[in-house]
Structure 1
């Protein structure tokens, strides 16, 4: 009974009106937001966000329960990690619209599928580009704002991973032969630092010798941006947004005929097995500091409660070490300036209960939670 009980929890966890561990909004400690533990349809979870930019550009969401608007529709767990660049507008927009679009298409198609996910990404992209068009004359710089988009969905025993950009999800899997938990990266990344991504861009733009440029020892698309896929970044997708009144520093010297960046996600469908222990979803701020196996080892070797916060703290320790400074000194650096030492970091850890995953008719617990809500200007973390 203890094992089955979480499946039937009937109500939303927390009302979202106050900050606290029992609230769906989590807790805030300076630049840190965290939710140490909670239950989703398929097990337990932990979340944490640390701000580095002047404005938090990472946005995230966890949904547990209905994945469509139909009473007879599928139930499951949804995780979204949206790592913005150029500002928070796109990642915030995705956080407000993408899951709603997913429920819409899941209802129309009466089930979850890769086609539903592709339509969800496309619709969210088109909605944001429409917003850019409406604000173009008064706020042209919104055309330069974009976001990576990582989505994970657990539904009917299957895990769907969709990614556009360089956020990452890593699976912790028990291997009998070595008696340890092995890290398996499930997401495909789209960053110009990866040779295969550069080759893909060059094949798509054979007549553009400047499609990828090595600038200050970093490969960038058109010498501007590292990611090759994103939501937003309208100025690199539609020529109409790469002209005045956009400031000249963002305008390309030559017009382009087809989109330079893409919003199409790479999608993986993975059947979950009992040996699949947990999933670590995180923006690239975590993976810049920790390897896949280092992160998996931390999750495996420490208590579940607060594990996302522990991963964030491990990343900050590593960031301080690389700059030959003490962690206690890094904690004193305020947002904005903090970005010179590490990026915004968002982490969601999903623990997988095989008994709950196998129950396709499971109807709870219901939960809707957005990461990072209420982060303030001062930090003691």
Structure 2
């Protein structure tokens, strides 16, 4: 069983929140899974017979499955472990998580099954082959959980939170406290950010399932800095075009940076962190030395995992960067985005391999003085 995740921190202590989640969430999930194994014995495989699959993308989010269906237990395991992680953050006096937090997009791969849990505005996209020519096409596995997403907005408004955009960013809707022009979160779910946990923000993830088919090639987990600059189709085509698997994530980040400069020439480049999880073994004839060492981790009951991962700091203007194996030896303590892969074994011995990136620049803010009137006007109309 393999676990991969990308964690996007924001706020003054976002780097600490993301690091804490990265370091503790996998073990919490592993412990919860072991408890369910002891109680039900249904985690030895993922049985989804009878679940209703979404015809558009083949993912399942069925809570009405029969009692012998293990998928609801996987969902419950993610929800419980995320809740425990958030509770631990609230009690940690070394981290100021009142106005700091982190999103998360994670995937567990067990055999030919994928279980994806999403918290916030990062995203998981599958690259699969389709049509007579078997061209690579994207399948979005998660929903971007932003404040203006209808289901999220309904919850926030019931909890008296406010959803407003600010002057200069009319397309970005943010979550605000009822009577204060803060914190201005661009996502509706996150770890931490306890200042708005009573006003609609939640740490409960959305969980999805995907049965891997013979046409499925890879899964891309990435922060919103990638998806704001590139389309899903762009992303899977870039990853598929990489000559080496180990360099796919780096190539994707570089393309995203270039797209940012074209689309938002006056804006600071957002942080970009990526994991590419390959679902098929690489042919031995095309396996390079860097592929065989830098991007293949974890052996166990599951097949060997093939990964490419890369992250880029928002305050670095140059497109230059090293492969994942080089960055891994240069981790910095003030970084806010983290990516993680580990082998989650049943005896709870994890193999860790993590890379960090840095500061979020547009996820959290306080309204400028000129916007206070706008805020009051909109509030009065509610």
TM-score over 0.5 (shorter chain):
yes
Aligned to 1:361: 301
Local SS of the residue matching 2:81: helix
Q: 1:135-154, aligned counterparts within 5 Å?
A: 141-154=96-109
Give the distance between the partners of 1:324 and 1:149, measured in 2 at CA: 28
- How does the TM-score come out when normalised to structure 1? 0.61
1:104 aligns with 2:104: no
**Which structure 1 residue ranges, 5 or more long, are not aligned?**
1-75, 238-257, 326-339, 376-381
Give the distance between the partners of 1:322 and 1:232, measured in 2 at CA: 31
Question: In the alignment, which of 313, 317, 331 is matched to residue 258 of structure 2?
Answer: 317
Q: Does the Cα contact within 8 Å between 2:271 and 2:357 map onto a contact in 1?
A: no
Q: Does the Cα contact within 8 Å between 1:157 and 1:360 map onto a contact in 2?
A: no
User: Which protein, 1 or 2, shows the higher relative CO under an 8 Å CA cutoff with sep ≥ 6?
Assistant: 1
Q: Does the Cα contact within 8 Å between 1:274 and 1:354 map onto a contact in 2?
A: no
Compared CA separation, residues 346 and 279, structure 1 to 2 (3 A) = same
Aligned to 1:345: 272
Which string of whole-angstrom CA distances, capped at 9 and with x for unpartnered residues, describes residues 251-300 of structure 1? Answer: xxxxxxx4431001000011111111110100111111111000011112
Q: Does the Cα contact within 8 Å between 1:155 and 1:360 map onto a contact in 2?
A: no
Give the distance between the partners of 1:95 and 1:221, measured in 2 at CA: 24
Aligned to 1:233: 193
Local SS of the residue matching 1:118: helix
Give the distance between the partners of 1:363 and 1:276, measured in 2 at CA: 16
Question: In the alignment, which of 203, 208, 226 is matched to residue 268 of structure 1?
Answer: 208
Q: Does the Cα contact within 8 Å between 2:126 and 2:218 map onto a contact in 1?
A: yes
Local SS of the residue matching 1:143: coil
Give the distance between the partners of 2:83 and 2:97, measured in 1 at CA: 19
Q: Does the Cα contact within 8 Å between 1:156 and 1:360 map onto a contact in 2?
A: no
Question: How far is the alpha carbon of 1:320 from its aligned partner?
Answer: 1.8
**Which structure 2 residue ranges, 5 or more long, are not aligned?**
38-42, 44-72, 283-298, 306-342, 344-350, 360-382
Q: Does the Cα contact within 8 Å between 1:273 and 1:354 map onto a contact in 2?
A: no
Compared CA separation, residues 228 and 324, structure 1 to 2 (3 A) = closer
Q: CA RMSD in A?
A: 2.8
Give the distance between the partners of 1:235 and 1:321, measured in 2 at CA: 36
